Chains A and B, each alone.
Chain A
């Protein structure tokens, strides 16, 4: 049998690896992307006790990007994007994240390739705060990013990137990659708790100490990782930007991060390798997130997402 492959034209703006596993255009619905929630498996369907309320993040939605004065933006191609957003609440950067101060969306996949070498995530996205007050608004979005939650036959690991846009109202605009600093203890990681299920290297998004310069136990600065991302001149204007993260699954290393027209070489950098968890070998969960820096709801719009492997 001779196969003829014809890709959808929308893929033209992407650079996928050999196998496009999922191409999610949010004009066609949620495509399996959903809110990140804890496990409701205890008495009365309670989740495990945690120092951070993992059930409080703002709900993800399909958005036409309607703005207060500029009207509807639609998406990069079409009408709808996947909108991650936050509730209008934040703690200072060096404190643990306030309940509701993040938005997280994930898709729950698994590995099917015994020789899997690379995993890659790409998206076209935009970001802006809600236009609920006067001003430019750029400094009110703390961070956004992407990570894979992976478990292979030996380790659970979470390679990811985080754009630190603003720290306590001060524009920072630098990339970090996910890796726990040396010597971080479980007590450091879990806001003083030594018991519990949390382990350093798991759920970096809300664990570990954070410091007023934007550094944190959970994230390390990307070398030469300053980047002045395009934020338009008002909260009611958005532009669509490109992001790509390539990870070497076999070597358990980062390969490269492309953001707009820049590619950061991450070869040789590694995420934290943790002991495996029960029953989740071959887990591949791509996850996007956004964080607010003040008492203001902020938005991350994803026009579309491509997950590819090789």
Chain B
């Protein structure tokens, strides 16, 4: 039987600028899915997965996903990601903030 865990990485965080999520260790997992939910009115957001050798230095992995202004949730699937994952979320501003709820579902 596989190990499975869902972690809440951002818990209804209001962002008003480019934001990167907390570095999360995923070396034990073979597959990962980020779910990004945006609550209430928000601008279009771009969500880019990033990987890292050490939790300090980051490189983009895969293509960015867009959360349109009328979208409430998107999912990003990942495999072959090494030991660390995070998301870079851009598009929110002080005039057009966004409230995000980010889950990371891991299996391995």
Contact of A29 among B5, B7, B27, B53 (CB under 8 A): B5
Contact A131-B11, Cβ < 8 Å, known A59-B24, A64-B27: no
Q: Is the CB of B54 within 8 A of A66?
A: yes
Task: Kindly provide the distance from the CB of B28 to the nearest chain A CB, expressed in whole angstroms.
Answer: 5
B4 (CB) vs chain A CBs: closest residue: A29
Q: Is the CB of B54 within 8 A of A64?
A: no
**In the bound complex, what is the Cα–Cα distance between A112 and B69 (angstroms)?**
51
Q: Is the CB of B25 within 8 A of A66?
A: yes
Query: Which of B3, B12, B23, B25 lies at the interface centre, i.e. has the most chain A CB atoms within 10 A of its CB?
Result: B25
- Is B83 positioned at the interface, with any CB of A under 8 Å from its CB? yes
**In the bound complex, what is the Cα–Cα distance between A63 and B9 (angstroms)?**
16
**B:47-95 near A, CB below 8 Å:** 53-56, 83-84
Q: Is the CB of A55 within 8 A of B12?
A: yes
**In the bound complex, what is the Cα–Cα distance between A252 and B103 (angstroms)?**
39
Contact A55-B54, Cβ < 8 Å, known A30-B5, A62-B25, A66-B83: no
Q: Is the CB of B55 within 8 A of A29?
A: no
**B:1-49 near A, CB below 8 Å:** 3, 5, 7-9, 11-12, 22-28
Contact of B27 among A30, A66, A67, A130 (CB under 8 A): A66
Task: Kindly provide the distance from the CB of A92 to the nearest chain B CB, expressed in whole angstroms.
Answer: 23
Contact of B7 among A28, A61, A63, A87 (CB under 8 A): A61
* Count: A-B pairs, CB below 8 Å: 51
Contact A62-B8, Cβ < 8 Å, known A68-B54, A130-B56, A131-B56: no
Q: Is the CB of B3 within 8 A of A67?
A: no
Q: Is the CB of A64 within 8 A of B9?
A: no
Q: Is the CB of B8 within 8 A of A59?
A: yes
Q: Is the CB of A132 within 8 A of B56?
A: yes
**In the bound complex, what is the Cα–Cα distance between A35 and B41 (angstroms)?**
28
Instruction: Produce 1/0 per residue, A61-82, CB < 8 A to B.
Output: 1111011100000000001100
- The A interface is mostly helix, strand or loop, or mixed, namely loop
- The B interface is mostly helix, strand or loop, or mixed, namely loop
Chain A residues contacting B25 (CB-CB under 8 Å) are 61-64, 66, 83
Chain A residues contacting B26 (CB-CB under 8 Å) are 61
Instruction: Please tell me the size bucket of the interface on A.
Output: 20 to 34
A45 (CB) vs chain B CBs: closest residue: B12
Chain A residues contacting B7 (CB-CB under 8 Å) are 35, 59-61
Task: Kindly provide the distance from the CB of B41 to the nearest chain A CB, expressed in whole angstroms.
Answer: 14
Chain A residues contacting B5 (CB-CB under 8 Å) are 29-30, 62
**In the bound complex, what is the Cα–Cα distance between A64 and B27 (angstroms)?**
7
- Is A58 positioned at the interface, with any CB of B under 8 Å from its CB? yes
Q: Is the CB of B83 within 8 A of A64?
A: yes
**In the bound complex, what is the Cα–Cα distance between A30 and B84 (angstroms)?**
17
Chain B residues contacting A80 (CB-CB under 8 Å) are 28
Chain B residues contacting A131 (CB-CB under 8 Å) are 54, 56
Chain A residues contacting B27 (CB-CB under 8 Å) are 63-64, 66
Q: Is the CB of A56 within 8 A of B55?
A: no
Known: A35-B7, A297-B23. 5 other contacts (CB 8 A): A35-B8, A55-B12, A66-B25, A66-B83, A132-B56
The 6 closest A-B pairs by CB, nearest first: A29-B3, A68-B54, A55-B11, A61-B25, A59-B7, A63-B25
Jot down 30 A-B pairs with beta carbons below 8 A, ordered by A.
A28-B3, A29-B5, A35-B8, A37-B11, A55-B11, A55-B12, A58-B22, A59-B9, A59-B22, A60-B7, A61-B7, A61-B24, A61-B25, A62-B5, A62-B25, A62-B28, A63-B25, A64-B25, A64-B27, A64-B83, A66-B27, A66-B53, A66-B55, A66-B84, A67-B54, A68-B56, A80-B28, A130-B56, A132-B56, A297-B23
Q: Which residues of A contact B (CB under 8 A)?
A: 28-30, 35, 37, 55-56, 58-64, 66-68, 79-80, 83, 87, 130-132, 297
